[in-house]
Amino acid sequence: MNSLKIFSGNSNLPLATKITEYLGTRLGQGRITLFPDGEIQVKVDEDVRGGDVFVIQSTCSPVNHHLMELLIFIDCLRRASAARITAVLPYFGYARQDRKDEGRVPITAKLVANLLTTAGVDRVLTLDLHAAQIQGFFDIPVDHLLAEPVISYHLKELDLNGSLMLVSPDVGNVKRARAYAQRFNVDLAIIDKRRVSGSDIVIENIIGNVKDKTVLMVDDLISTGGTICNAANLCMDRGAKAVYVAATHPVLCGPAVERLASAPIKSLIVTDTIPLSSRAKEELTGIDVLTVSELLGEAIRRIHRNESVSSLFITG
Ligand code: R5P
């Protein structure tokens, strides 16, 4: 079997380190530096010839820089004769640009898929894509894991009481919310949301009755916080007892921290696919950050050994 090598770009070092700890290995030696004009330079400092190489990189903010870093890393590994290169994207940036919903707009998620393939990746491992169909933008194998088992395990520990109800903050999240509703065997309500700009949304109604319910709202990501905070306010206005929020990717840009800090959210749960900013750590004191290192680490172990990863979608 080719030797397992794991590298990381600069964006995901804490998660990447935890993954290597789970696997009982260490991160490969490599350097990413900048030329004075901002160009990225990558140097891999160990032999990767014939290796089964995984590069862990969330394409989070600064998105373009992290994406370029990943592409250059892949090119470097390919030219250093790695036998197989897997791009591990705990968070896949640009995923929200997955279709033409009006005239004269790009499908940037597809462009990113093309860029990764052209750079030389053989397969992709990712988590909670904004839209599962992005898997089809690639003509190479894509393993798409869900953070739901990790988050559900944590929620079970919280012992939310009998009046729990799942709420999808928009129509796009219904499938995700339904998976949680089935896991907890509770009802599902849906919020009717309309996006008016990148940072503003309008929430019109809830389909379902949340009165006297403990609401659990799940989303793939929180960006500016508009969706989740407005949805939490609406649930409380409609008589919910409390609102819990679980989102896989804490993008948390623009007014997100401020909005979340003042929203009627009893508990906010995210994962470590994106490192929290120091401001978010300071101001969102009650935030629970769950690690997906074991989930991704186990997937890497199984891919490396040519074993099935499908059982990682199911937990007790
Ligand atoms: C939307 O389709 C996504 O699932 C998120 O709900 C959305 O992107 C979050 O954005 P924001 O936090 O800016 O409302």
Residue owning the nearest CA to atom 5 of ligand 1 = 221
Mutate to test the pocket of ligand 1, among 134, 222, 230 (most ligand atoms within 8 A of CB): 222
Q: Which residues contact 70 (CB under 8 A, 6 or more apart)?
A: 9, 55, 57, 59, 87, 89, 116, 119
Q: Mark whether 100 is an active-site residue.
A: no
Average pLDDT rounded to a whole number, residues 207-227: 97
Q: Does 308 have pLDDT greater than 70?
A: yes
User: How many A from CA of 29 to the centre of ligand 1?
Assistant: 36
Mutate to test the pocket of ligand 1, among 133, 173, 219, 248 (most ligand atoms within 8 A of CB): 219
Q: Does 86 have pLDDT greater than 50?
A: yes
Among the listed residues 175, 193, 213, 241, the single catalytic one is 193
d(CA 156, CA 97): 34
Q: Does 196 have pLDDT greater than 90?
A: no
Q: Are strands 142-145 and 123-127 parallel, antiparallel or unpaired?
A: parallel
Nearest atom in ligand 1 to the alpha carbon of residue 219 is: 4
Task: Give the 3-state secondary structure percentages of the chain, helix then strand then coil, rounded to 5.
Answer: 35, 25, 40
Ligand 1 site residues, Cβ closer than 6 angstroms: 96, 169-170, 172-173, 201, 219-227
Average pLDDT rounded to a whole number, residues 5-26: 93
Out of 34-43, 83-92, 199-208, 253-262, least confident range: 199-208
Calculate the average pLDDT of the chain.
Answer: 95
Q: Does 312 have pLDDT greater than 90?
A: no
Residue owning the nearest CA to atom 1 of ligand 1 = 172
User: How many A from CA of 201 to the centre of ligand 1?
Assistant: 9
d(CA 58, CA 64): 11
pLDDT at 57: 97
User: How many A from CA of 171 to the centre of ligand 1?
Assistant: 11
pLDDT at 13: 84
d(CA 84, CA 70): 15
Q: Does 257 have pLDDT greater than 50?
A: yes
Tens of pLDDT, residues 262-293: 999 999 999 999 999 999 999 999 999 999 99
pLDDT at 200: 80
CATH 3.75.10.10 is held by the domain 148-290: no
* For the chain, domain boundaries: 4-146+293-313, 148-290
pLDDT at 315: 43
Q: How confident is the model at residue 1 (pLDDT cuts 50, 70, 90)?
A: low
Q: Is 32 exposed, middle or buried (0-12, 13-18, 19+ CB in 10 A)?
A: middle
CATH fold for the domain made of 4-146+293-313: Rossmann fold (3.40.50)
d(CA 177, CA 128): 13
User: How many A from CA of 223 to the centre of ligand 1?
Assistant: 6
Tokens at 3, concatenated: 């030797």
Nearest atom in ligand 1 to the alpha carbon of residue 254 is: 13
Q: Which residues contact 24 (CB under 8 A, 6 or more apart)?
A: none
Topology agreement, domain 4-146+293-313 and domain 148-290: yes
Question: Of all helices (H) and strands (E), which one includes residue 232?
Answer: helix 226-237
Q: Taking the CB of residue 101, how many other CB atoms lie within 10 A of it? A: 9
Phi, psi of 34 (to 5 degrees): -115, 135
d(CA 245, CA 283): 17
Inter-axis angle of helices 63-79 and 108-119, to 10 degrees?
A: 20
Q: How confident is the model at residue 226 (pLDDT cuts 50, 70, 90)?
A: very high
Tens of pLDDT, residues 28-73: 999 999 999 999 999 999 999 999 999 999 999 999 999 999 999 9
pLDDT at 316: 39
Q: Does 249 have pLDDT greater than 50?
A: yes
